[in-house]
Structure 1
Amino acid sequence: MSKIETDFLIVGSGIGGLSFALKVADHAKVIVVTKDRIDETNTAYAQGGIAAVTYEPDTAEKHIQDTLVCGDGLCNEEVVRLVVEEAPDQIKQLINWGVKFDRKPNGQYDLAREGGHSEHRILHHKDNTGAEIQRVLSTRVLNHPNITVYQNHFAVEIITQHHLGVEVKRGNPDITCFGAYILDLKTQKVDTVLSRVTVLATGGTGNIYNATTNPPIATGDGIAMVYRAKGQVENMAFMQFHPTSLYNPGERPSFLITEAMRGFGGILKTIDGKEFMHKYDPRGSLAPRDIVARAIDNEMKIRGEDHVFLDVTHKDPKDIIDHFPNIYQKCLSLGIDITKDMIPVVPAAHYMCGGIKVDTNAQSTIKRLYAVGECSSTGLHGANRLASNSLIEAIVYAHRGAMHALSSYKNYEFNHSVPEWDYEGTIHNEEMVLITQSYREMQQIMSSYVGIVRSNLRLQRALTRLEILYRETEELYKKSILTQKLCELRNMINVGYLIIKSAQQMHESRGLHYSLDYPKQKGQEF
């Protein structure tokens, strides 16, 4: 055990965390903590691309309106304008750092179009854009002399006045973050990291569901830590389900079939080969994700089938393979030649549109604590994220947060009175079995009762079962040496509770017993 001091403590190593680190590291000492390898992130799994206005006839106003429409009227228009207008500068920053976006033979960027977009505006690198961005950022961070990366380390709790024996209540405007307790997953020892500024960039929550496109690390850690620290979390009912993950039972995470494939001309069809999306929306297979996911869910239920198909066989085979080489190889490994065969797809938990409430400088309601990327709630996405708006949101807010924090971080002192982590008890094999079983039960509860279609009865049943899991897990936590699974389980239960309570409140506000669409009320805080 030890106490470590740094100017900036950044938890998470995707585009939000690493770009924040690079933007402050020329001026300050930075520690980046990531619970797996530096390149095992939600960002690395992003296929489609990153949205920004690049060429005419596209305009900022078109991108703004597409985002507002997709968000079901619940976006913060000020934030939408801010992100769209600042996006081109951040794209230039990525290019200057070394990210290679695909170009046409004439040298112009090869822009894709995805569901909900009125123009071609998606910059991409084949069908693995996130991996290309992750590669560049990871390399730069690892080579920066002012950045220290702690791989295979888990942030257990952010440190506030609570750890100094002060009672902290939700809504208190003076809650302050002094750093975090960090668990070394190899030694099982907990370090106390004191920081002037702490940044949460912990990604998504998808693993609270059985079927998700998110990597196993996406367990809502940052959101849960802020909730426990009495910071504000909002709009947690807005869990986005991606309409097209590859139907391959037993595979986890689910392999994503990018939105860009529908922008390329892919058509959704039932198992008997009939197009169905125009029954639900005039935009057909290019409707926004929430509409498409609900339509697929409905078709599967009324027909009693396990999946639908995405068909690109009418497109030129060479173009298919050139644009989607990873999807082509993945499907081929399962005996599916996408130039000749339709792709079986199903919806899967994909993206949390709510999260830690932040202002336009990425500041949370806890002082000295910032949040960027999927764990944050900026107001950009409303009830439903427009395709490829996530990566651009993360880097725009990382830039704004970094510039804001650099202007004030030297005014903050380290709080040396913070105690080191208090170990109690030991963990037994039987308790590890309970943790693993509870982990699976958590995913089953959320998938069965809090999925694409929700009812008051299902939500209440889920809440009742989660409360039992919560009590069991807290008993283990209080008496056991920490493990990653136990910490993740606590976080997942916290996030599941927040999703259920948010959905219940929204149902109540609209007098609903059953919802086929995303509830229309914003500003839900906890």
Structure 2
Amino acid sequence: MTFVKLYDVIIVGSGVAGLSTALHLNKDLNVLLLCKREMTLCNSSLAQGGMVAVYDTEHDSCEEHIKDTMIAGRYENNLEAVTILSKESKMVADELLDLGVDFDRTSDGKIDLTLEGGHSKHRILHYKDSTGKEIVDKLIIAVKRRKNVTVMEYAQMCNLKKVPGGFSLDILQHEQHHYVSTPFCVLATGGIGRIYQYTTNSAIATGDGIAMAYQLGAKIQHLSYIQFHPTAFYNAQQRECFLISEAVRGNGAYLRNCHMERFMHKYDERLELAPRDVVSQAIMKEQEATGSKHFYLDISHKEPEFIKTRFPMIYHNLLQSEYDLTREPVPIYPCQHYLMGGIQVNLNSESTIPGLFAVGECSHTGVHGRNRLASNSLLEGIVFGRRSALHINQLSKQTQEKIQPYPFQPDVYTADIPKGTRTEIRSIMQKAHFVLPNRKLAEEGFIRINDIKFMLEHGQFKVTPDYIEAKSLATCAYIILKEIM
């Protein structure tokens, strides 16, 4: 049965940003947490390398972390946001430790801090090579203990409307529509990876929150700032590419071309530890020079037991594809990985629409600039999720206008979207806006994307998960291509 219910806060998304928001909201607020699929499926859980924290203040400082972040972002970062990120990092790490997150330690019991590309200091906290999963799992346990938080799994937001007093949402769960309203809506819907043929992102990364915020009139900033990770496992048969963590290069792995020669010295003095955009572009230049798309990551010169202990998940995943990380180079190629742009927000994570918040990868805090520094993303999601919650806590104490729910109408259409719609969007984006964008193909693709977007918005299609996601992908592709033309 369809129900209409009012919540004090609705959070759409269950990655670290959404979970952090839920945990920092006052316990007297009635909170709904929506999970597009199962609660554990999110890009946060896929994060391997770790989380930044200025933890060893004897050998590191916020000033140095801020400098590294600004350099990686080509100084297009919001310095105030970066400063908040860095100065709150140790507090976040301590909170996670209190929640039971099992960061790796050295033999003397200290937190083991590792190095990654673009960092000048060892400041990456990690749990082997599955840090994101360890953090998400512990945050989920904590959220489930909160009696004021209702969790809805397999619940897809298919419409978001601004109404007097707040927002109304149409939620699709097991083919049943549920209508809910709230004065405060927090979008934590993640990235847009499924807009590409090949991505490291999970299946739910279709840009739904960004697209719906755009339809409401929220400002979207720098959506074309997309990060392509240089070391995704190269397997053209799989759309979701297995990521080989930045930390592998941080622990001494080499990049090799088709001739098994190291080549990064030709392009950057930081060699394999240059930021991700620099390395990805170097691979593209080396491809042009050699005429080959064959590239490899090689850490086989390290002790096998070290590799197996430090990177157990990566090691076992590659073994399933018949590659032994301890004995041979592994084929890699750049792949869509992360979004630096998104819904423009202030330092409290509030969008240009009052009451509408965005946290995590779907937001644009300005922290990352044009290129994200490795392992800043988990930290950003937690820091700015917390800040959104603290601001909502204050706003909720003020007198709120009575909400007038949006009169959603039952879905009466039966037609499915044309077969191949999403495939065509992915093909256009892969060709037009990869590591080095192609302006001519972007202009041609924009015309077709505009037609697809119009067709989806005005056609009489049944509201299904496929339709919702296709419309989101078309909207995000439209914004990106319009930006770069």
TM-score band w.r.t. shorter chain: over 0.9
Residue type matched to 2:478 in 1?
A: Y
**Deviating more after overlay: 136-145 vs 31-40:** 136-145
Report matched runs for 1:197-212 at 5 Å.
197-212=184-199
Aligned to 1:487: 468
TM-score by length of 2: 0.97
Aligned to 1:17: 18
Equivalent residue in structure 1 for 2:293, among 303, 306, 315 = 306
Aligned to 1:422: 409
Q: Which runs of 4+ in 1 moved over 3 A?
A: 412-416
Aligned to 2:274: 287
Q: Which consecutive unaligned segments of at least 5 residues does structure 1 have?
A: 165-175, 505-526
Residue type matched to 2:230 in 1?
A: P
Give, in whole Å, the separation in 2 of the partners of 1:400 and 1:471: 37
Residue type matched to 2:458 in 1?
A: E
Identity of aligned residues (%): 38
Residue type matched to 1:279 in 2?
A: K
Aligned to 1:38: 39
Report matched runs for 1:108-127 at 5 Å.
108-127=110-129
Equivalent residue in structure 1 for 2:306, among 319, 326, 331 = 319
Change (3 A) 1:178 1:411: farther
Aligned to 2:169: 180
- Contact 1:178 / 1:194 at 8 angstroms: preserved in 2? yes
Aligned to 1:496: 477
Q: What is the deviation of 1:399?
A: 1.3
- CA deviation profile, 1:348-401 (whole Å, cap 9, x unmatched): 101110000000011111111111100000011000000000010111111111
1:221 equivalent in alignment to 2:208:
yes
Report matched runs for 1:130-141 at 5 Å.
130-141=132-143
Q: What is the deviation of 1:424?
A: 4.3
Aligned to 1:520: none
Residue type matched to 1:28 in 2?
A: L
- Contact 2:461 / 2:467 at 8 angstroms: preserved in 1? no
- CA deviation profile, 1:51-99 (whole Å, cap 9, x unmatched): 0111131111110100000001101111111110011101111111111
- Contact 2:15 / 2:44 at 8 angstroms: preserved in 1? yes
Give, in whole Å, the separation in 1 of the partners of 2:407 and 2:287: 53
Q: What is the deviation of 1:305?
A: 2.3
1:231 equivalent in alignment to 2:218:
yes
User: What SS class does the counterpart of residue 255 from structure 2 fall into?
Assistant: strand
- Contact 1:52 / 1:87 at 8 angstroms: preserved in 2? yes
Aligned to 1:437: 420
Residue type matched to 1:497 in 2?
A: Y
- CA deviation profile, 1:85-117 (whole Å, cap 9, x unmatched): 011101111111111100011011111110000
- CA deviation profile, 1:133-177 (whole Å, cap 9, x unmatched): 11111122223211110100111222214xx8xxxxxxxxxxx74
Aligned to 2:149: 147
1:471 equivalent in alignment to 2:458:
no
Q: What is the deviation of 1:480?
A: 2.9
**Deviating more after overlay: 142-151 vs 206-215:** 142-151
Equivalent residue in structure 1 for 2:366, among 363, 379, 396 = 379
Residue type matched to 2:30 in 1?
A: K
- Contact 1:370 / 1:401 at 8 angstroms: preserved in 2? yes
Aligned to 1:393: 380
- Contact 2:432 / 2:439 at 8 angstroms: preserved in 1? no
Q: Which consecutive unaligned segments of at least 5 residues does structure 2 have?
A: none
Give, in whole Å, the separation in 2 of the partners of 1:422 and 1:481: 13
Give, in whole Å, the separation in 1 of the partners of 2:6 and 2:75: 44
Q: What is the deviation of 1:451?
A: 1.2
Aligned to 1:105: 107
| Superposition RMSD in Å | 1.4
User: What SS class does the counterpart of residue 411 from structure 1 fall into?
Assistant: coil
Q: What is the deviation of 1:416?
A: 4.4
Give, in whole Å, the separation in 1 of the partners of 2:411 and 2:23: 38
Give, in whole Å, the separation in 2 of the partners of 1:25 and 1:406: 6
**Deviating more after overlay: 380-389 vs 149-158:** 149-158
Residue type matched to 1:156 in 2?
A: C
Aligned to 1:81: 83
- CA deviation profile, 1:450-481 (whole Å, cap 9, x unmatched): 111113212101101101211222233xx233
